[in-house]
Amino acid sequence: MPGCGAAEGADITSTGTDATDGRPGGGAAAGPPPPAAAQVDLGGLAALRAVLRIRPFRRLWLVLGVASLGDWLGLLATAAFASAQVSGSVQQGLAFSSVIAVRLLPALLLGPAAGVLADRWDRRYTMVICDLLRFVLFASIPLGALVIDRGTTVVAWAAVATFFIESVTLVWLPAKEAAVPNLIPRSRLEISNQLTLITTYGVTPVLAAASLSVLDRSLRAAVRTPPEWAEPANLALYFNSVSRLALAVVVFFGIREISGRTAVGPDGGAGGMVRQFVDGWKYIGQTRMVRGLVLGILGAFACGGVVIGVAKFFAVSLGAGDAAFYMLFGALFVGLAAGIGAGPALVRALSRRRWFGMSIVLAGASVFILAVSVHLALALAGAVLVGTGAGMAFLSGTTLLGGEVGDDVRGRVFAFVQTATRVVLILAIGLSGAFVGIGGSHEFRLGEAAFSVSATRALLFVAGLLSIFAGISAFRQMDDKPGVPVLRDLWWSIRGRPLSAAHPVAGPGLFVVFEGGEGTGKSTQLAKLATTLIDAGHRVAVTREPGATPVGRRIRELLLERAEDAVTARAEALLYAADRAQHVATVVRPALERGEVVVSDRFVDSSLAYQGAGRTLPDGDVAWLSDWATGGLRPDLVILLDLDPALGLRRAADRGTPDRLERESLAFHGRVRQAFLDLAATEPARYLVLDAGLPIEILADRIRERVTELVEASGVRLAPAGGLR
């Protein structure tokens, strides 16, 4: 059977903070991080309770939730505040957009250096100082309006203050992101990211918009003309300011665990800040996982920017207005929340590296649905799927950054990603909007038929294509299970048993297996093939299952030769898997690595036929168990000798006392035969099916011809003849 299999070992030894009392456990673990499948699956609510029992993280999450609400209020209120300081629709529009644009400018100017500072300084003090500065700056915006005449001066100060706030945030954000993985065990990093992202991008934005709306209505109802200091925008800015002060106090006095030893001391070490900056960029460029992660994130954000940039025009192309535009935006965020909240429960133990690339491909493919939508309902479904893919990619990417990037460069990597995504997002939004505005819609005629092609849909199609390309490229660079079928891995991961990465064969050997029912003459043909290969100058290793190793011989005795020992069907399958694991590890794989031709009497297909079809155990379970035992090893050729079970059993009886399997019913052996034939039909190129009733020499000639073709076609250099092993 194709594929490879097994769940990676579940190592629940935690590094980081103790789950019960929150004691630090030494920060990020040295050495490679545990695989994604090693994460402790406690179930949704149990996992949530477990991560919230970590006192430092719980405190940080609560205060960050309040601060996030303040930030969303501040984003909305700052722009509204600037608009309120001038009169005229044009001036108000410029004031609104200028304040929003200023929030993006620091990322272009200071983003790369911010990561160096986050890695260079103590993260706790960095966060505290940055929040104190933001407390002052946010408060200065509404306070400035009380002492400065309304007009462009106030707008200018709001823009300047916003620039400094964003500059400080660029240093605060990577320090916070880099510190969080040191507060919690790696196994609970994903659930903590879920909690944080849902709070930041799901709950608080909606709460902020609703709060401003309710506050404005309540004030207008209570006081027709409220004093300037009590304007909703001003109150929101005051709240944002106080939330930053509260965050600074809690971090300084209540979360001392954030402080940690940084890789480079305050003196900057050799080369100082410039050297750190260069080292950070080299790390991103030279590390395949990080490079693939950055490529995927940028591709996803570019695609998202295009969708946002053309959304207004797309709503018009559907024959709908602003209501459809808002519905599409809402659907996008619904999908985002669904991807973040439900994604891990859906894919369960799937490798997070694979999940990341697959999520981006899902988002890109979903953009195609938008591109071909002719009805709002289909467009809304596409928007939900786009958001779902983006949400899953956002969560898995953040988890990978926190869990697999070293603590000494984590701040710089986070800063680079945050800066690059902002730039790409804004460029995508701006350029796509301009392109759609210039391109418009064109009508083409083909005979009597007329059809129109809009720049909006063409751009959506291109964006989806580029996103799929970015997702596939990221997948290839980050894939930690090369050679493992993707969809099969996803299916088994959903069932809680992910396939393990296949162990590649280092040497140039070939693996040939003889399969078939009882009495088909496998041993005879195997011996003839081995002699032929030796005569041709190749070194050959002849082996069998079960019983090729000392451990296997004891298992064979239990399975076949001791009739008085009752073995259940499941126990039988497990014993065969144990024999196969030892066989592959100590006989088959070493011989292949030496460049030998390994010829085996039975392999995985026998378990699928005898335990799967014969014992009627679930085929999928037997396949997964066998693939796990072999580490994904597959024969280059399977020679299936097919024979009527009745004739085969008579042949076997002539050899002597029948073993346990030979004494099974004819119906049992009929199921076994059909299972072998079904397996061969699934991959005819890898099987040679022969009628075992043919004369021995004719069978030997056909087997020799096929194996000779295989050796010549493979182009490998087999080990020189050295006899039979």
Give residue-wise pLDDT tens across range 337-364: 888 888 888 888 888 889 999 999 999 8
Predicted confidence (pLDDT) at residue 58 exceeds the cutoff of 80: yes
How far is residue 315's CA from residue 307's CA, in Å, rounded to a whole number?
A: 11
Query: Is the model more confident about 76 or about 59?
Result: 59
Helical segments of 180-271, H only: 189-198, 204-222, 232-254
The mean per-residue pLDDT over the stretch 551-573 comes to 80
Does residue 659 or residue 477 have the better pLDDT? Answer: 477
**Token pair recorded at residue 483:** 């050679």
User: Which whole-number Å values give the CA distances from 365 to 324, 567, 674, 690, in the listed order?
Assistant: 22, 50, 40, 44
What pLDDT is recorded for position 182? 75
Closest by Cα among 549, 547, 553 to 591: 549
Q: Delimit the CATH 1.20.1250.20 region(s) of the chain.
A: 41-260, 278-501
How does the average pLDDT of the chain come out, rounded? Answer: 76
β-strands 540-544, 597-601 pairing: parallel
DSSP one-letter code for 599: E
d(CA 484, CA 475): 13
Q: Is the pLDDT of residue 171 over 50?
A: yes
The CATH H-level (homologous superfamily) assignment of domain 41-260 is: MFS general substrate transporter like domains (1.20.1250.20)
- Residue 643 sits at φ, ψ, to 5 deg, of -155, 150
**% of the chain exceeding 90 in pLDDT:** 15
Instruction: Say if CB 210 and CB 217 are below 8 A apart.
Output: no
Regarding predicted confidence, which is higher, 48 or 630?
630
Which of the four CATH numbers 3.40.640.10, 3.40.50.300, 3.30.365.10, 3.30.70.260 does domain 510-714 have?
A: 3.40.50.300
Q: What b-and-e string marks burial along 255-267, b requiring 16 or more CB atoms within 10 Å of the CB?
A: bebbbbebebeee
Rounded to whole angstroms, how far apart are CA atoms 463 and 469?
Answer: 10
pLDDT value, residue 706: 92
Distance CA 616, CA 3 (A): 21
Pair 473, 292: CB distance under 8 Å = yes
pLDDT for 482: 79
DSSP 514-529: EEESTTS-HHHHHHHH
SS3 of 639-662: the string is EEEECCHHHHHHHHHHHCCCCCCC
CATH 3.40.50.300 maps onto the chain at 510-714
User: 293-297, 493-497, 596-600: which range is least confident on average?
Assistant: 493-497
Once rounded to an integer, what is the mean pLDDT over residues 270-276? 53
- Range list of β-strands (E), 475-536: 510-516
- Banded model confidence at residue 28, pLDDT cuts 50, 70, 90: very low
Confidence (pLDDT) at 8? 33
Rounded to two decimals, the pTM is 0.60
Q: Is the peptide bond before 546 cis (omega within 30 degrees of 0)?
A: yes
- The predicted pLDDT at position 112 comes to 60
Q: How far apart are CA 125 and CA 387, in angstroms?
A: 36
pLDDT digits (tens, 9 = 90+) for 192-250: 888 888 887 767 776 776 776 677 677 666 666 666 666 777 777 788 888 889 889 98
Binding site for ATP: which residues?
Answer: 516-523
- What's the mean pLDDT in 599-603? 94
633 falls in which pLDDT band (50, 70, 90)?
Answer: confident
Q: In the predicted model, what is the mean pLDDT of residues 36-41?
A: 38
pLDDT tens digits for 451-467?
Answer: 456 678 888 888 889 88
- pLDDT confidence of 543, banded at 50, 70, 90? very high
Taking only the tens place, the pLDDT of each residue in 714-724 is 665 566 655 55
> Residue 2's pLDDT band (boundaries 50, 70, 90)?
very low
At residue 30, does pLDDT exceed 90?
no
Give 377-426 pLDDT, tens digit per residue: 888 888 889 888 888 988 888 888 777 777 777 777 777 777 777 777 76
Q: Which two tokens stand for residue 634?
A: 């597959």
- Kindly report, residue by residue over 75-123, the tens digit of the pLDDT: 666 555 555 555 554 454 444 445 555 566 676 666 666 666 766 778 8
Q: What is the CATH number of domain 278-501?
A: 1.20.1250.20
| Alpha-helical regions (H) of 223-321 | 232-254, 272-286, 288-317
Per the annotation, binding residues are 516-523
